[in-house]
Amino acid sequence: MTTEPNQEAPNAAGAEVLLRALKDQGVEVVFGYPGGAVLPIYDAIFNQNAIRHILVRHEQAAVHAAEGYARSTGKVGVVLVTSGPGATNAVTGLLDALMDSIPLVCLTGQVPTHLIGNDAFQEADTTGITRPATKHNYLVKRSEDLARVVHEAFYIARTGRPGPVVIDLPKDILIGKAPYAGPVSTHRSYRPRTEPDPAQIDRAIALLKGAKRPVIYVGGGVVNAGPEASEALTRFVRMTGFPCTNTLMGLGTFPASDPQFLGMLGMHGTYEANLAMHGADVLLAIGARFDDRVTGRLNAFCPDAKKIHIDIDPSSINKTVPVDVSIIGDAGRAIAALIAAWDADAAVPDRAGLASWWRQIDVWREKQSLRFTQDTAPGALIKPQYAIRRLWQLTRAQSKDTFITTEVGQHQMWAAQHFGFEKPNRWMTSGGLGTMGYGLPAAMGVQIAHPDALVIDIAGEASILMNIQEMGTLAQYRLPVKVFILNNQYMGMIRQWQELLHGSRYSESYSNALPDFVKLADSFHATGLRAENYGQLDDVIHRMIASDRAVIADIAVDPMENCFPMIPSGAAHNDMILGPEHEDQARGITDEGLVLV
């Protein structure tokens, strides 16, 4: 990539210059929806074949689809929407991408510059509205800035801590002639730090060497650092013999099948992961941000641990949890530096200390905190956990690469707990923002990027209805996405909190007047399947996987099942509710805990 912006004389319309810049950025796919303000761009798209446009049915879905595309490939996802409602509909997706650090460039149409501020038709203050929902945003007011802004936007979106960048494009800028300039790989004020400080690496190694009860806690930053970062992580965990736990966003960075994996940590994490965090003497956090869903009550979080934090974003360090050693940089490079320093030092872990730590962890593992009981009579109710387990087992038994997206709620947590991920970029879920309606459009984006893969949206019957219109997009592009609905006829996580914290007053959480999902699939030219009981589950999963079409598999599951284990709000890691027999613990929650989300 060149750093010299070799500006040419203006000889093409802004929309043409925009497409040329996208091509030079290696863009192959744009997810979008047309409108008056972006018609010049759609005209330019019509006149070329290099960039494919995927027409969604709602702008929010365009952003989630671009997120799925980005998260499963490591590339920047691109969105194109019109002014006004096009831009405001995209806001939820933009904030979702910001919270989960997903690289996106979102092109929004805008009324012509001379009308800005006049409350023109479909005008919105898009840069104002999206400022707190993006990593950065631009309003292009001069044609000569257009190409530079597009290249800067891509550079900002994909480097440092990745995130969404909006470019607001007034219609006169798209129509008027504009000069072209090539891609850039520097910026006058934005300079992310990627190389870790060797002195801090040495301090980390000194702590890790002496650790008797270490835990490595890994988040989505390692996914963003590329697959080689996950490979390096796996090597480092194995060479140290330390236990490793993943956040919701980090699943897949360390193989779930590895004996050193403790499972996910946090509110619905495993007993062993949370108790190990609580008992640790040295904590190594990599690409994770001490989210409230992970830490539980802050003043009881990892009370005895010296903490080492690796993050590319300096504002993540000491934000909620003070740490002893901070390493600012790319997670992959920092892990590589740790490996090199550990080797150079000929470091040996405290084997006796570690052996006794693993014995303690094995005692916690014996609690089998993810256990559930599935009645195996053919007519028995399906336990949602069992449905996920079978989905995992049966997808493993086939040869296609499998990608999972989710909506938000109980089904999301059960998927995180019971579906084992061996590699990064295979798990797409809305972690930070918790956006219901994320999974189906995200799966669309994944399937566009990986046409031959098996892409499954694990959904709830409530969440799926938030972006159900995208079934039309699946039909138009013949995308064989599978929607696997755990249908418990409730907004399950809401119902669970109402049961545990609000005296079982199920206010507005019943999914009334649900559609017939089989007929709904049929009307969108997809295949509809339904499993009513244990005896029908395997057959439905087999048929779903074998189908070369889009499928909705409607799985009727136990409506009253709760998601355990659980750290109730305001509680500490060592105050977990393991199962229904301990639900009274949640009822004893303090007022302070009750105000927490």
**Shortest distance in whole angstroms from residue 101 CB to another protein:** 12
How many angstroms separate the Cα of 555 from the Cα of each of 415, 471, 536? 14, 18, 9
Q: Which residues contact 497 (CB under 8 A, 6 or more apart)?
A: none
Q: Which of 16, 31, 59, 412 is catalytic?
A: 59
- Asked if 379 contacts 534 with a C-beta cutoff of 8 angstroms, the reply is yes
What phi-psi label fits residue 290: left (phi over 0), alpha (psi between -120 and 50 degrees) or beta? Answer: left
**Shortest distance in whole angstroms from residue 191 CB to another protein:** 9
Nearest CB to another protein, comparing residues 299 and 376: 299
Q: Tell me, yes or no, if 471 is annotated catalytic.
A: no
**Shortest distance in whole angstroms from residue 137 CB to another protein:** 8
Q: Tell me, yes or no, if 59 is annotated catalytic.
A: yes
**Shortest distance in whole angstroms from residue 376 CB to another protein:** 50
**Shortest distance in whole angstroms from residue 165 CB to another protein:** 9
Nearest CB to another protein, comparing residues 202 and 324: 324
Gap between the Cα atoms of 333 and 236, Å rounded: 12
Which one-letter amino acid corresponds to residue 136? H
Nearest CB to another protein, comparing residues 158 and 495: 158
- Sign of the CA dihedral running 233, 238, 241, 243: positive
Nearest CB to another protein, comparing residues 141 and 423: 141
- φ and ψ at residue 406, rounded to 5 degrees: -140, 165
Q: Which of 99, 413, 493, 566 is catalytic?
A: 493
**Shortest distance in whole angstroms from residue 502 CB to another protein:** 27
Nearest CB to another protein, comparing residues 105 and 540: 105
Nearest CB to another protein, comparing residues 187 and 209: 187
Gap between the Cα atoms of 446 and 72, Å rounded: 6
Q: Tell me, yes or no, if 524 is annotated catalytic.
A: no
Nearest CB to another protein, comparing residues 189 and 504: 189
From the number of C-beta atoms within 10 Å of its C-beta (0-12, 13-18, 19+), residue 186 rates as exposed
Which one-letter amino acid corresponds to residue 82? T
Paired residues of 170 in beta bridges: 110
Gap between the Cα atoms of 460 and 458, Å rounded: 7
- φ and ψ at residue 365, rounded to 5 degrees: -60, -30
- Asked if 585 contacts 575 with a C-beta cutoff of 8 angstroms, the reply is yes
- Asked if 12 contacts 68 with a C-beta cutoff of 8 angstroms, the reply is no
**Shortest distance in whole angstroms from residue 77 CB to another protein:** 19
Q: Which of 23, 48, 121, 560 is catalytic?
A: 121
What does the DSSP assignment read for 425-447?
TSEE---SS--TT-HHHHHHHHH
How many angstroms separate the Cα of 225 from the Cα of each of 221, 274, 345? 6, 25, 25
Gap between the Cα atoms of 557 and 4, Å rounded: 59
**Shortest distance in whole angstroms from residue 148 CB to another protein:** 13
Gap between the Cα atoms of 296 and 449, Å rounded: 36
Can you list the alpha helix ranges (DSSP code H) found in 8-113?
Answer: 14-24, 39-46, 59-73, 85-99
Count of other CB atoms within 10 angstroms of residue 349: 18
- Asked if 13 contacts 48 with a C-beta cutoff of 8 angstroms, the reply is no
- The footprint of another protein (CB under 8 A) covers 127-128, 131-132, 135-137, 139, 141, 156, 187-190, 306-307, 313-315, 317-319, 322-324
Nearest CB to another protein, comparing residues 210 and 559: 210
Paired residues of 110 in beta bridges: 170
Q: Which of 28, 122, 360, 423 is catalytic?
A: 122
Q: Tell me, yes or no, if 493 is annotated catalytic.
A: yes
Q: Tell me, yes or no, if 122 is annotated catalytic.
A: yes
Gap between the Cα atoms of 586 and 597, Å rounded: 14
**Shortest distance in whole angstroms from residue 316 CB to another protein:** 8
Residue 85 has which token pair? Answer: 């409602």
Nearest CB to another protein, comparing residues 230 and 316: 316
Q: Which residues are catalytically annotated? A: 59, 121-122, 171, 493
